[in-house]
Structure 1
Amino acid sequence: MKKISRLADELIEDTLKEAADTFFGRRKGIEHEISLFEQKVRELRPLAQRIEQAAKSLNFLLLKGKEVENFWRYLNVEFPLDFDPDWRLGITIPAGLTIKSRYAKLLVYVYQTLAKAIEEYTYGKHVEDTVIKGRKLVTVNYNFLQRWASEINEKIEKINYYQKPSDVLQFVKRMNVEEIEKERIAGAPMKYSLDKDLLLDKLIFSDYKLKRYPDLARDDKTIKLVKRFARGLVKRNKQEIKRILEEISKYAREFSK
């Protein structure tokens, strides 16, 4: 009988160990995955800063913000208007015979810089795998992180629903006959308030402050619209644009030092 009792105790011990490993192991796995997710969020932030720099520079070029709304309306694009005009690009003004041509080229360049940054931020870009030769990888991007956050939340929902702490504790207590008898005598109900306290919190994607930007076209038709807008702006505000170009030239000289 002692041998049978010992075997039963060992079986109970193994069962409890497996239950604990499953309960804590899955939670630990989620915590590790969230840590990896947040690391990738940090990797994307420099690209978000590039978008901000390009948007601020574009707004500066558009008469220091006065023509921003008209510009996006002209292109039929709903773009955020909350970027303060501030020249942040260390580039020289393109060559041209007239202010109109120089300004138009510069506006196109800044617009395309913004469009490329948004495209890479939203969809990523293909790069060579440094481990497996010939394989292409896609860099971290907004869409990938948004999908990943949803997948993590689905896992959290399943763990919170199917692996409630109180259910695990009930299971452990059922393996202990003496404990059950004590609770029966004491009249203590086998109900616990652990679930609410130990719930895994779902990710709130908006808390990571990653903005969603509209795609910006870079086809010939769109570039012609940008140039046309630039020429019309110079025609109406030649002296103001001349001063803006002078400020940009001064900044470029200081930036190159």
Structure 2
Amino acid sequence: MGLLDEWGNALVEEGLREAADTFFGARTALEDEIAFFESQAAKLKTQVENIRSWFAGLNCLLGNEADTRFLFDSLGVTLDDPTLYTHKVCSLQFRRPRSFTRKGLFAKTVWEIYEPLARMIESYMHGAPYSDPLHPGRVMISVNHDHLRKLCDEINTRIKSVNESNRPSESLAFAKRMDQTQVFKESVTGGGGQTWTLDRDLAFAPLVFEDLDLPDFPDLPLDAKARATLEECCAKIFSRRRDHVDSILDEVFDPEDKTICVLDRPGR
């Protein structure tokens, strides 16, 4: 082999190496992004059942769907998932409130579930600030629904770009053109036509956010007006359903524990 042939082979190898780096590099980077997205979605998903459990706790305290709807309608909140008005499978521990009257105690107990629920939803939907353990003084935002939905859209944009501009058939065709002997054989035998299926078989499927079972939860107001509205609703429920209120308060208030209330309704 002469010097010119060696130089030509070196150019071919360099071209193939660069083509492979471009093709596999883009795909590997996208696969890493998808894997990161899926790991963040898994973290967020663990919060969903906890939120549902606290909704169920409210349902248990209020007693029935009609009064749960009454409370949320009064607060100006609509739950898109109708099961949130009826679900009663819960396991909660919350701070024990104090009051001079049973009516006041009922309202405060409902608030002790409503307030943590509102904060859980805020963290789940929009994130909560926390200190970066690796960089003191730096504040981070926890994984949240808003960020994941935006990230899903961004990854889908990159998926479309990779599928359109980094097609396997084009990379394979480039590699074949480097081997003129193979090109000649395929031109004579009519081979190589099957490569078009690579684009379809190796294309990245778009992410479907709705398939992740990460529902939207509405923000729950926590201002003084919201608390006053909640107390008014609880007073009306107390006046017309006193038997239920007495029963549920007896269930959650353990006379031996002066700090913690427990509400545990396992599924059947």
| TM score, norm. by length of structure 1 | 0.92
Q: RMSD between aligned alpha carbons? A: 2.0
Runs of 4+ in 1 over 4 A off after TM superposition: none
Aligned CA distance change for structure 1 residues 187 and 90 (closer, same or farther; 3 Å): closer
Relative to total residues, which structure has the larger strand share, 1 or 2?
2
1:157 to 157, 160, 165: 160
- Amino acid corresponding to residue 38 of structure 2 in structure 1: E
Partner of 2:30: 30
Aligned residues: 255
- Amino acid corresponding to residue 198 of structure 2 in structure 1: L
Deviations 1:225-255 (A, max 9, x none): 0110000110111111111111222594698
- The answer (yes or no) to whether the contact 1:59–1:86 under 8 Å persists in 2 is no
Give the drift of 1:45.
Answer: 2.6
- The answer (yes or no) to whether the contact 1:69–1:81 under 8 Å persists in 2 is no
1:206 to 203, 210, 217: 210
Deviations 1:97-134 (A, max 9, x none): 22110001111221111111100111111111111121
Give the drift of 1:172.
Answer: 1.0
Give the drift of 1:49.
Answer: 2.7
Deviations 1:125-160 (A, max 9, x none): 111111112111111111111111111111111110
Query: Counterparts of 2:230 and 2:31 in 1: how far apart (Å)?
Result: 47
1:115 to 118, 121, 128: 118
- What 5-or-longer segments of structure 1 have no aligned partner? none
Aligned CA distance change for structure 1 residues 43 and 67 (closer, same or farther; 3 Å): same
Query: Counterparts of 1:94 and 1:167 in 2: how far apart (Å)?
Result: 69
1:237 to 227, 241, 246: 241
Query: Counterparts of 1:252 and 1:30 in 2: how far apart (Å)?
Result: 48
Query: Counterparts of 1:218 and 1:225 in 2: how far apart (Å)?
Result: 11
Partner of 2:17: 17
Partner of 2:130: 127
- The answer (yes or no) to whether the contact 1:65–1:85 under 8 Å persists in 2 is no
Partner of 2:187: 184
* Structure 2 counterparts to residues 86-125 of structure 1, below 5 A: 86-91=89-94, 93-125=96-128
- What 5-or-longer segments of structure 2 have no aligned partner? 255-259
Query: Counterparts of 1:55 and 1:254 in 2: how far apart (Å)?
Result: 12
